[in-house]
Each structure stands twice: as C-alpha cells, then as structure tokens.
Amino acid sequence: MNPKITAATLRAMKERGEPIAALTAYDYPMAKLLDEAGVTLLLVGDSLGMVVLGYPDTTQVTMPEMEHHVRAAARARPTALLGADLPYRSYETVEAAVTHARRLVAAGAEFVKAEGGREILPQIQAIVAAGIPFCGHLGMLPQHVLEEGGYHIKGRKEEEHQKLLADARALAEAGAFAVVLELVTPPVAREISQQIPIPTIGIGSGPDCSGQILVTHDLIGAFPWFTPRFVKPRLNSAAEIQTAVAAWKKSLQPADS
C-alpha cells in the first residue's frame, strides 16, 4: 500500500522536480478510480456547480452542497491528498473562513482552498493558525466571474504581473502549502513557480508549474456541452455512454421484431 500523500509530500515533489497530478472528484466512485490511477491530489472543487449540479457558474454553490460532496469523496479513503474549495462568500470574514474551513474538514477534507491573494491574507493566516492546511488560488478567479464579466487570462498587463508575484509570495509566507494558478500567462506562471518555495499547480497556465490540475469531466469528455480551450480530452466518455445505452436499448427489443 502506498504511503498517504500529505502537504509535505507535495513540497518534496517540487524539490525533486516530480510533477504533481491533480484532478477534481465529486463523489465516491470517481475519487476511488482516480486514486487507484495514482493521482496525487484530489479536489472537491466548486466546479461541481457546473458539471454536476447544472449551475451557470460557481457562485451558486452552497456550503451544504460542498459538504455533501466532500463526504462522498472522502468515503473512498484515498491515498491522494483530498481537499475542497471554500464556496462563494464563505470566507468574507476571518471568523467565517475558519468556521467554514472546519466544516469542510469535519466532512473529510484534508485541506481547503480559497480564491484571492493579499486581500484575504487575514483569513488565510487564521485558517493556517487553526491547523488546517491551506491551498491558494490566483489568476482567473471563477468566483469573481460575474464582477469581471467572464473568464480572462491574467498576467498580460504589468500591473497584473506584479500583483500575481506579490500575492504568490504573500501566500507562501502566510503558510499556504501550494497555490493553484488559473489562466495565468505561461511566462508569469513560470516566474512565480521559480520564485516561491511552495508548489504551483497550473490550469491553463502553461507547462512550467510544479503540477497540473484539470476538471476530470473535461479530461475524460464527460461534459460535452463545453470544453475549455486549453484542455485536450483524453477520452470521449459522453459518446461511449450514449453508445452503450443505445446498444442496451436495442437489446431489449424482441429478437423477431
């Protein structure tokens, strides 16, 4: 049996130059399958709002919904490090951040993730002080999609470049064990990865991060109605399911019909 992966494991992987493979999991069977496939980190992401619950974006995901899916994924007892997103508006104050982080841990999460840099530094420090491992999230912030008017690549402007660097350094100093970089220009993602001691986990941010994370549904073609431009699906499971169902339906017909 492989040893349990921890935040310290990821730090050691960065130091060795060993890539971190991270994927989303929202339920027991997927968490178990991905863990058996050797995935390093599993995230119960608030992306479940779109690919599982049918919401238009992540801002409608509730805390009870996150807890429900964390419990399901945690029942797989993965060797992978299992974490969860703090949902929209659940960490606006220090007290709320710690309270909701503890609720996710009670549901089975081994770390929590929240979006933002220095503007949520007190919340991050309080979560870490409470003994809860914290993963940051910089770049494109899905929970801010409504106020930003869509999903935009970050780091093209020098102001964004400098803010990303400063925020990444602040997260590391505050005790975050890793940071997700979403839709950050590859040169800036590479620079951040070189300058901070904690692992960077990229999504649409080029090949030079310490690891990569994808929404599993995008990777396996399980959500055919939308696929991000930076994703190359490795399977068309939606078509496979529809083919299997069609074959099964056909088998129900009488042989002489």
pLDDT at residue 150, as a whole number:
81
Mean pLDDT for 224-252 is 95
Residue 172 has pLDDT above 80, yes or no: yes
CA 154 to chain centre: 18
Q: What is the CATH number of domain 7-251?
A: 3.20.20.60
- Between the alpha carbon of residue 27 and those of residues 35, 44, 57, 138, 201, the distances in Å are 12, 8, 19, 26, 22
Residues 180 and 201 sit within 8 Å (Cβ to Cβ): yes
Mean pLDDT for 61-87 is 98
Mean pLDDT for 45-58 is 97
Catalytic residue status for 182 = yes
pLDDT at residue 140, as a whole number:
96
Residue 257 has pLDDT above 70, yes or no: no
Which of the pair, 148 or 19, is modelled with greater confidence?
Answer: 19
Q: Could you give the CA distance from residue 32 to residue 28 in angstroms, rounded to a whole number?
A: 6
Q: Could you give the CA distance from residue 84 to residue 208 in angstroms, rounded to a whole number?
A: 24
Task: Quote the strand ranges of the chain, DSSP E.
Answer: 20-24, 41-44, 81-85, 111-113, 134-139, 178-182, 200-203, 211-214
Q: What is the pLDDT of residues 103-157, one digit of tens each?
A: 999 999 999 999 999 999 999 999 999 999 999 999 999 999 888 888 899 999 9
pLDDT band at 165 (very low <50, low <70, confident <90, very high): very high
Average pLDDT value for the chain: 96
Mean pLDDT for 47-55 is 97
Residues 234 and 212 sit within 8 Å (Cβ to Cβ): no
Residue tagged active-site, from 67, 110, 115, 182: 182
Q: Where are the domains of the chain?
A: 7-251
